[in-house]
Amino acid sequence: MPVLGTHRTLLRRAAGGCAAILTLALACACGSSQSTTSAEQAHPSPSMTLSAGPSASAGASAGASTGASASASASASTSASTSATGAGAGASAGASASPSRPISSNSSSSSGSPSSPGFSLSPSAPASSAPVAPATTAAAPVPAKDAPGSSIAYSTASGGHTVALTFDDGPGPATSQVLALLAQYHVKATFCEIGTQAHDNPALVKQILADGHRLCDHTVHHPQPMHTLPHDKQAYEIDAAKDMITTAGGPGAQVSWFRAPGGDFSADNRQIAVQAGLRPLGWTVDTRDWSKPGVPAIIANVKKELRPGGIILMHDGGGDRSQTVAALKQLLPWLVQQGYTFDFPAS
Ligand SMILES: [Zn+2]
């Protein structure tokens, strides 16, 4: 069980999670820092209820992933909810021991990311060190305002020694390289796509589906911050993106999750997502690849933060992703060597 200090570490770490600020009005890079006060975090925190959910979506193994359904393990998917206190840093069902996660000291980032079709990115400010609420040892109740099923998924569908790879901000120029590597290792992943990017690259969306991967809604324009937008605009960002992605994917295309840009979840946008049939999707490992910290740093983040059942955040869009591709080339065989099989997030 994590201790209080761990929670504080987590929250601070989460504050530096994903991201970037668009140099255009839109834009992206997950993992952006959250400087606002009411936004939720894509990483687990004591204020949120974690749930692996009852779903048993595919347990695609590295050796023979077929996308076939797998029954949920008791540790991962049968409990309706687990308190953040109990879930800990690994956040995933199945994670057990003492996940102490040091505060990241490299949360600031360089600016001037190269532009990509549709938008360009400029990673944002350092993580906030604002005070956090004290951890509690009691199970965190689900807030009354939360819609059923709107809790953020922080674990794989099957739990156990699995991992879910997620790629945000595409489809883009790096998507084909990512797909080729995933195919080489027979790995299935989840792609959190920006609506306009999907609209502009329908062939890539179709290829993602043809390869057995799954889709996640990452809004139309990747607004940051998202939770401060009026309700109607947030609803548009989620609903229209879902339509754009499914249209790009072709007949039968499905979108199963919603990931807020920069992990900027709120009760409001989570409820909008649930009404659209989408499960809010967080992550437990921020590779910080969007900040282009170097391939060794990306790999080190994974080795440091990954726990069984975890969800890894990477990016196939939003700028030059050559470091991401190079890191993935090393991470995939490492994950296989560590005995991980590849799963989709809880849905
Ligand atoms: Zn993003």
Q: What is the pLDDT of residues 269-279, one digit of tens each?
A: 999 999 999 99
**Average pLDDT score over residue span 262-288:** 97
What pLDDT does residue 149 have? 78
CA of 285 to the centre of ligand 1 (A): 14
Model confidence at 334: pLDDT above 50: yes
Cβ 288 vs Cβ 31: under 8 Å:
yes
Across residues 59-81, what is the average pLDDT? 34
Buried b (16+ CB within 10 A) or exposed e, 173-186: bbbbbbbebbeebb
Helix (H, G, I), strand (E, B) or coil at 7: helix
- Ligand 1 centroid to 259 CA: how many Å? 8
pLDDT tier, 146 (very low <50, low <70, confident <90, very high otherwise)? low
Compute the distance from residue 303 Cα to the ligand 1 centre, in Å. Answer: 22
> 298 C-alpha vs ligand 1 centroid, how far in Å?
17
The yes-or-no verdict on residue 7 having pLDDT over 80 is no
Catalytic residue annotation: 168, 315
Higher pLDDT, 151 or 122: 151
pLDDT of residue 40: 72
Q: What is the pLDDT of residue 39?
A: 62
**Is the predicted pLDDT of residue 3 greater than 90, yes or no?**
no
Cα 154 from Cα 171, distance rounded (Å): 23
The pLDDT tens digits of the residues spanning 99-143 come to 333 333 333 332 223 333 333 333 333 333 333 333 333 444 444
Please report the domains of the chain, with CATH numbers, ordered by start residue.
4-101+119-125+148-342 (3.20.20.370)
Tell me how far apart the terminal alpha carbons of the chain are, to the nearest angstrom: 25
9 vs 196, which has greater pLDDT?
Answer: 196
Q: What is the mean pLDDT of the chain?
A: 72
Contact present, 245 and 201 (Cβ < 8 Å): no
Q: How confident is the model at residue 44 (pLDDT cuts 50, 70, 90)?
A: low
Are β-strands 341-342 and 162-170 bridged in parallel, bridged antiparallel, or unpaired?
parallel
Q: What is the distance between the alpha carbons of residues 115 and 229, in angstroms, rounded to a whole number?
A: 25
Residue by residue, DSSP assigns 289-307 as GGG---HHHHHHHHHHH--
β-sheet bridge partners, residue 311: 164
